[in-house]
Amino acid sequence: MNPLNTPAGKHVRVDHVALRGVVSASPRTEVRNQDLTDRFSPELIEEIGKMTGVRARRVAAENQTTSDLAEAAARELLADLGWEADSVDALVFVSQTPDYRLPATACALQSRLQLGTHCAAFDVNLGCSGYVYGLWLASRLIDGHAVKRVLLLAGDTSSKLVNPDDRATALLFGDAGTATALEYDANAPATPYVLGTDGRGEMNLIIPKSTYRGACGTTPALPESHPDYLYMNGPEVFNFTIRSVPLMVNAVLEGAGKTVNDIGAALFHQANAFMLKHIAKKLKLPAEKFPLNIDRFGNTSSATIPLLMSTMEDRQALAGDVVMAGFGVGYSWAAALVSLQQMRVCRWVEV
């Protein structure tokens, strides 16, 4: 086996990249689980809340898209950092809820943010693992000397994808958009990544009525699912996560010669509180290094990790190295050991 390829995933390293700032944007509208008693019984709401950890979520307005949230976050970030719009060399938009089938939402955001026409812009269709994959892609552009500054915009408005009567998803998913600034820095420490995919899980987290697959008459039939809405096979996703995430996190730490004692925090995709606490126990992570915000924001897909950073009360935990781990739809997973010593901006806004 190639030493870079392990059961945990592919091991890669990126040099000379500094994460300068993160701004996360949430919709102003808060929906509490207890507000949904017209659809679900109080007993069921309490049961699901205990399992998922979700007590409230931010939900986008009918005319508010992921790009609107990401744009607001990006404007705040550029202003906070003092970056001129023309200084941004690339824009990467990570989302599974783009504005259009085409053109790429990244192109629209380049115009709306008034970035230079020299700016490369493209979309990445990833969900739960998307933020860490986006960091890797943006960093490789910089490490490869193609660009010096990159805006990574990641987020989803998953509330628009769920069946409002589906107990498995309606009480779980929230909305958010985020912006992360990355820049070339010759003195930045190396960032190790572990990346992996197992497409055998494609049917376990899916919107069955895909535009083109459905047009071919081959929309998959799944139990108790509506083809137009998000379907989640909770037990299978749980088993995948418990199996894959500890392996991935240990691999990225071992590759860097670190242990959980050497990190300030483990920033995990906010998928399900019960599942995350189980993983933390397996990894022997103390509670103070394992922040959660799923109770306030729900599962915001590709936005969860930067949103977690932006809303953490203990900012001292972000002063050094942190592990970031994304995992889910695909199946897809990615982890990184990221230095935040050079991060100058980290905040949350409502729009």
Domain ranges of the chain: 1-351
**pLDDT for res 215:** 66
Catalytic residue among 204, 272, 299, 346: 299
Q: What is the DSSP letter of 173?
A: B
Q: Which token pair is 45? A: 């709401």
| C-alpha triplet 69, 85, 144: angle, nearest 5° | 95
- Does 1 score more than 50 pLDDT? no
Catalytic residue among 128, 233, 293, 346: 128
Describe the crossing of helices 42-52 and 273-283 by its angle, rounded to 10 degrees: 30
For the segment(s) 1-351, the CATH number from 3.40.50.450, 3.40.47.10, 3.40.50.720, 3.40.50.300 is: 3.40.47.10
Within the chain, how many helices (H) and strands (E) appear?
9, 16
Residue 128 annotated to the active site? yes
Binned at pLDDT 50, 70 and 90, residue 96 comes out as: very high
Q: Return the HEC string of 259-325.
A: CHHHCCEEEECCCCHHHHHHHHHHHCCCHHHCCCCHHHHCECHHHHHHHHHHHCCCHHHHCCEEEEE
> Strand 30-32 relative to strand 90-94: parallel, antiparallel, unpaired?
unpaired
Please give the model's pTM, rounded to 2 decimal places. 0.95
Mean pLDDT across 126-149? 95
The pLDDT tens digits for 27-66 are 999 999 999 999 999 999 999 999 999 999 999 999 999 9
Residue 269 annotated to the active site? yes
The three-state secondary structure class of 148 is coil
Q: Which token pair is 109? A: 């955001």
Residue 299 annotated to the active site? yes
Catalytic residue among 119, 269, 272, 293: 269
The pLDDT tens digits for 218-277 are 667 676 667 788 889 989 999 999 999 999 999 999 999 999 999 999 999 999 999 999
Q: Which token pair is 170? A: 């309606």
Q: Which of 126, 50, 48 is nearest to 94 (CA)?
A: 126
- Does 7 score more than 90 pLDDT? no
| Intra-chain end-to-end CA distance of the chain, in Å | 49
Mean pLDDT across 294-305? 98
